[in-house]
Structure 1
Amino acid sequence: MTITLPNTDSAAFRANPDHWEWQYIDLMRRIWEHGDERIDRTGVGTRSIFGAQIRFDLSEGRMPLLTTKRVYWKTASRELLWFLTGDTNIRSLCAQGVEIWTDWPLDRYRKATGSEISRPDFSRRIVEDAAFAAEWGDLGPVYGKQWVDWPSYEPQGDGTFRRGAGINQVAQVVESLRENPGSRRHIIEGWNVAELDAMALPPCHKTYQFHIAGNRLSGLLYQRSCDLGLGFAFNIWSLALLTRMLAQQCDLEPGEVVWMGGDTHLYLNHAPLVEEQLSRVPSGDARMEIVRRPETIFDYAIEDFSVEGYAPQAHIPAPVAV
């Protein structure tokens, strides 16, 4: 594949050579040109590097929306709000037109039944048929379950253990940010080793940590596995949104977000996406306002978020590897 480099002599580049998105573009180029080519779990194949970092300043309402392709930030926001409910069934997502988790239950249903049902028909049935959704729409104890209902067990006198109350990590972080701002334990963890095999997909964005300096709250995400072509745009948006929500709830100013990738990769069948995106020049400066302060971190709605100044280039379609 021949990569078309952006015109660094163009007025657009000269106007904004320090745009945060160049971090992303440079990382994409490095992976595609120098990454280790390997066969992955999906069988599609990737080019991969290990260890990457991107930083973004949230001050003055700024939000990390890619401009070299359209990012559907409302879809990403609905997913985050769904995580915070602790729900693990795709039914409520499908009812909102959010299909980013549908492929895994759909694949399981097709393999189990031999059906060639289309994705729209499967989603429609998930929404309309509660019994069907209960049987086929659950993802297992994925992100939200671990975030707000991490299982605990209490020892019994006979040497057995009884299920105790679930641990709400998100509520604990809100409390610790308010009561002990200097703590190094403001952490939300999704990697529950005991339950990985029960999940449709083990957590990719697995560990969140938050840090207060002065009156500014910063958030860091460690991601064990990152599909840079598709998943990253949602991952860094969600990190920034969660950080902004926590800051508001704790009377803090938004600081910085730091995204860290372990196995950071591009799928081999994403060559058209890579070529097109690497030919584009970042521009623009999206800002977000949270228009209401709910009573708790769990009470936000999609209508609470307003984005201005986002003028991305065209969407670039690419297949999801299941």
Structure 2
Amino acid sequence: MNQADKVYLDLCRNILEHGTKKEDRTGTGTISIFGYQLRFNLQEGFPLLTTKRVPFRLVATELLWFLKGDTNVRYLLENNNHIWDEWGFQKWVESEQYDGPDMTNFGLRSQEDEQFNAIYQEQLKMYQERVLTDDDFAKEFGDLGNVYGKQWRSWEGADGKVYDQIQYIINEIKRNPDSRRLLCNAWSASELENQQLPPCHYAFQFYVNEGKLSCMFNMRSNDVFLGLPFNIASYALLTHLIAHECGLEVGELIYSGADVHIYSNHVDQIKTQLEREPRALPTIELNRDVESIFDFEMKDIQLIGYEPHSSIKAPVAV
């Protein structure tokens, strides 16, 4: 059994067996534990889960979006990536400019009411098309506020200066690989009200040892079924990209979660996944002609040998 699936499935079992039922912001309800760590040896393969298909293209395009410092969903929509649509859509339907059907609690209602879901899908498609074609609309309702890309690439300090945390990390690894300050922080208490979704993966840190780059990322809140497989793959890819630019091999990826939970409407999907036998992990291949991580495009990143079980669908809690 590959270790990536094993440790992930062990976490799922732990939550189902020992977790506590809790209410949450979305009204869905969760089974939750507090404090958990997973470790992945990146030398053993790329930790993209095989017990269900995880759409790597969506993982990669979202990470490239972060690295561009972008906070507008237009780039994602242009790349047929819809994982942030609901948060931009929510911003629109809660605004004074929206004059369509009532979309209150659209996340839950679309799951429970087929008639409403048809109306919701129509409004969501309208939102997507306007973001892609209307510059003014995209500027106002496509932008999610000072989320990950802004914090990673344009952190604003109390001194009024703007800091590129990713570039700092790269420069520091090259200059002083033993530094204990190879850290990026996406959590800014003063800007929480200006973010459509406050950062869930709020900080990460790198560590260089014997020519290998390791990364630890921290999450305040984690949807284990839908979110965590994406998060693991995203930070694994980020580690590969930074190692590539800095002339290093990859080492370990370490996940540290605080409120680690399974949504109540994901339990059956988790049980299905637990019944599946893990398969061999894929590998990742980067275009060696691209020197800077900020110049990478999707065509420069190849996933090799990914043969997972079929995907398992589940609703997103917004």
TM-score in terms of structure 2 length: 0.90
Partner of 2:221: 225
Q: Which residue of 2 aligns with 1:65?
A: 48
Aligned residues: 296
Bigger radius of gyration among the two = 1
Amino acid at match of 1:143: Y
Amino acid at match of 1:97: N
Residue 91 (structure 2) aligns with: 108
Q: Which residue of 2 aligns with 1:40?
A: 24
Matching of residue 306 in structure 1 with residue 302 in structure 2: yes
Kindly provide the CA deviation profile for residues 92-118 of structure 1, in whole angstroms up to 9, marking residues without a partner as x.
111111111110111222233242453
Contact 1:67-1:283 within 8 A present in 2 as well: yes
Alignment of 1:290-301 (within 5 A): 290-301=286-297
Is the 1:19–1:283 Cα contact (8 Å) retained in structure 2? Answer: no
4+ residue segments displaced more than 3 Å: none
Deviations 1:14-37 (A, max 9, x none): xx3x53311111111111222110
Within the candidate set 121, 124, 147, 1:142 is matched to 147
SS of 2:61 mapped into structure 1: helix
Cα drift, residue 121 of structure 1: 2.5
Q: Which residue of 2 aligns with 1:287?
A: 283
Which is richer in helix?
2
Give me the CA root mean square deviation.
Answer: 1.3
Q: What CA distance in whole angstroms lies between the structure 1 residues aligned with 2:36 and 2:157?
A: 34
- Is it true that 1:119 corresponds to 2:124 in the alignment? yes
- Deviation string 1:64-116 (CA, Å, 9 cap, x unpaired) is 01111100011111000000111111111111111111101112222332424
Distance 1:169 1:199 in 2: 19
Unaligned 5+ runs, structure 1? 1-15, 155-162
Q: Determine helix, strand or coil for the equivalent of 1:124.
A: helix
| Structure 2 counterpart SS, 1:37 | strand
Query: Which range moved further: 300-309 or 289-298?
Result: 289-298
Q: Gaps spanning 5+ residues in structure 2: where? A: 102-121
Query: What is the CA-CA distance between 1:272 and the residue it aligns to?
Result: 2.3
With 118-127 and 282-291 compared, the bigger mean Cα shift is at: 118-127
Measure, in 2, the Cα distance between the counterparts of 1:91 and 1:128. Answer: 9
For the residue of structure 2 that corresponds to 1:118, the secondary structure is helix
Task: Give CA deviations for 1:109-148 in whole Å, capped at 9, x if unaligned.
Answer: 2233242453223212211111111121110000010001
1:249-280: per-residue Cα shift (whole Å, max 9, x none)? 11111111111111100000112211211111
Question: Matched residues in 1 for 2:4 and 2:314: separation?
Answer: 23
Give, in whole Å, the separation in 2 of the partners of 1:232 and 1:139. 21
Work out the percentage of aligned pairs sharing the same amino acid. 42
> Does the 8 Å contact 1:248/1:293 carry over to 2?
no
